[in-house]
């Protein structure tokens, strides 16, 4: 179906055409009509399915069709997301699709100074895209109010639960007027998310374009059984394949990401890391260079990479298998997007067999195992080589000292549980700093 068949206003259709789109994705085709009618909606869709347009387009249509409920410029739409990167991308989408209107918007997240965000709120904005922690901080300081909000969107709701944001979400929702439209999107639907949906959605329309806990058919999944000491050498060998044009590598820990980057740079492969110990400027710089093709490899923690919308990722590599099988689905969904094909490679050590079994149980099929290709061991580093991460990717020389007050204020996660190896059974929601 084409966008022109959905009943969207002509200014939105022009903006969509300017972005190069004419045909809807399944989530857009199913979600946009009921949202245009004012219905609440619960959407289950993997990343890369076009769900941002599925809520941004009908919300902009409805805001343009009706006057604000209050004089001035009150916040009319609030979008809550789990990570800074996703907040920036959703905000950019609202601006692109709404460029033929006169809406104002702002993005709110931690890790940067709050002054520009406060000034934007004081001037008045129609649309706010925010991470919960920083938003609550600004609310507590008296800089933000949402008593005239007409629409609430919870995007990546399952990841917000995993990150421990559920209490924050409930506090924010309590600040909104009871009469509003509510939209919730989630890649998976665990019980806690269904309970949250039941509490805030009113007779919602449910749409699901990909069965829960399945991987995209456009992703070629490959598995290598490898010993821990050989993982880095195998990664180097695979990344030197000329078919690798843009690779996203996942590690379990921030330290692990920096270590992988150090070895890749020593092997003359352009790489940078993004994770919670990087400044926002460093993260945005690494993402920009990755998008521009200046970096072959981006090494990321799960939270930092959640919701990344980067075209043309040819390969995803699970350098470490995740503890939670759902995370595997999110990771490999970074490639094979929008109808393109991609390759997802996973390394499995003897310690990872339980995680692999959980993943295959979730997928309801085996991940095809491939024989190890011949690869050479890595040479030792030259004497006196600096072993820290490159200054380009570091956050002013290394991870910041633990500061509970600042970590709580900067809007993106909460202090708490440390990751000290495999969890016993299913993990409880983590509140690790991002």
CA–CA dist 87, 80 (Å, integer): 8
Position of tokens 């709701």?
Answer: 157
pLDDT at 396: 30
CA–CA dist 265, 226 (Å, integer): 22
Would the CA dihedral through 120, 122, 127, 130 be positive or negative? positive
Closest residue by Cα to residue 34 from 183, 195, 152? 183
Q: Which domains does the chain have, with CATH numbers?
A: 3-208 (3.40.50.300), 219-363 (3.40.50.300)
Position of tokens 């995007």?
Answer: 155
Q: pLDDT category, 405, cuts 50, 70, 90?
A: very low
Q: How far is CA 428 from CA 171, 186, 192, 306, 360, in A?
A: 21, 18, 12, 19, 21
pLDDT in tens, 72-111: 789 999 999 998 888 998 999 999 999 999 999 999 999 8
Q: Which residues of 48-87 are buried (b: 16+ CB within 10 A; e: fewer)?
A: bbbbbbbbbbbbbbbbbeeeeeeeeebbbbbbbbbbbbbb
% pLDDT > 90, the chain: 54
Write phi, then psi, for 207 (nearest 5 degrees).
Answer: -130, 140
CA–CA dist 149, 153 (Å, integer): 11
Confirm if 402 and 415 have CB atoms less than 8 A apart. yes
DSSP letter at 334 equals: T
Q: Residue 305 pLDDT more than 70?
A: no
């Amino acid at each position: 179906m084409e966008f022109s068949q959905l009943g969207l206003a002509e200014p939105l259709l022009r903006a969509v055409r300017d972005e190069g789109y004419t045909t809807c994705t399944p989530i857009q085709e199913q979600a946009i009509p009921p949202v245009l009618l004012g219905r609440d909606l619960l959407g289950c869709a993997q990343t890369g399915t076009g769900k941002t347009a599925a809520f941004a387009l009908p919300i902009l249509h409805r805001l343009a069709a009706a006057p604000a409920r209050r004089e001035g410029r009150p916040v009319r739409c609030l979008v809550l997301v789990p990570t800074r990167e996703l907040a920036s991308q959703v905000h950019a989408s609202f601006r692109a699709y709404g460029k033929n209107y006169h809406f104002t918007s702002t993005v709110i997240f931690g890790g940067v100074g709050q002054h520009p965000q406060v000034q934007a709120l004081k001037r008045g904005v129609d649309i706010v895209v925010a991470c919960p922690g920083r938003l609550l901080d600004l609310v507590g300081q008296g800089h933000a109010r949402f008593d005239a909000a007409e629409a609430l969107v919870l995007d990546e709701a399952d990841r917000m639960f995993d990150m421990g944001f559920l209490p924050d979400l409930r506090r924010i929702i309590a600040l909104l007027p009871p009469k509003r439209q509510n939209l919730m999107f989630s890649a998976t639907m665990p019980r806690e998310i269904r309970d949250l949906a039941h509490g805030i959605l009113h007779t919602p329309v449910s749409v699901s374009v990909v069965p829960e806990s399945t991987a995209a058919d456009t992703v070629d999944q490959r598995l290598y059984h490898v010993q821990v000491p050989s993982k880095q050498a195998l990664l180097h060998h695979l990344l030197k394949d000329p078919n690798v044009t843009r690779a996203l590598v996942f590690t379990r820990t921030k330290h692990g990401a920096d270590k992988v980057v150090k070895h890749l740079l020593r092997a003359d492969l352009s790489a940078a890391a993004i994770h919670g110990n990087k400044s926002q400027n460093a993260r945005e710089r690494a993402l920009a260079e990755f998008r521009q093709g200046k970096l072959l490899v981006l090494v990321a923690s799960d939270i930092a990479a959640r919701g990344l919308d980067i075209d043309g990722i040819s390969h995803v590599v699970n350098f470490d298998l995740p503890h939670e099988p759902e995370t595997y689905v999110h990771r490999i969904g970074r490639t094979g997007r929008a109808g393109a094909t991609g390759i997802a490679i996973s390394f499995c050590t003897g310690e990872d067999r339980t995680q692999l079994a959980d993943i295959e149980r979730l997928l309801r099929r085996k991940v095809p195992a491939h024989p190890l290709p011949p690869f050479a061991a890595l040479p030792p580093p030259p004497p006196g080589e600096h072993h820290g991460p490159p200054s380009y990717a570091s956050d002013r020389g290394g991870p910041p000292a633990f500061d509970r007050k600042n970590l709580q204020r900067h809007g993106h996660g909460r202090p708490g549980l440390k990751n000290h190896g495999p969890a016993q059974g299913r993990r409880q929601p983590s509140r690790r700093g991002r």
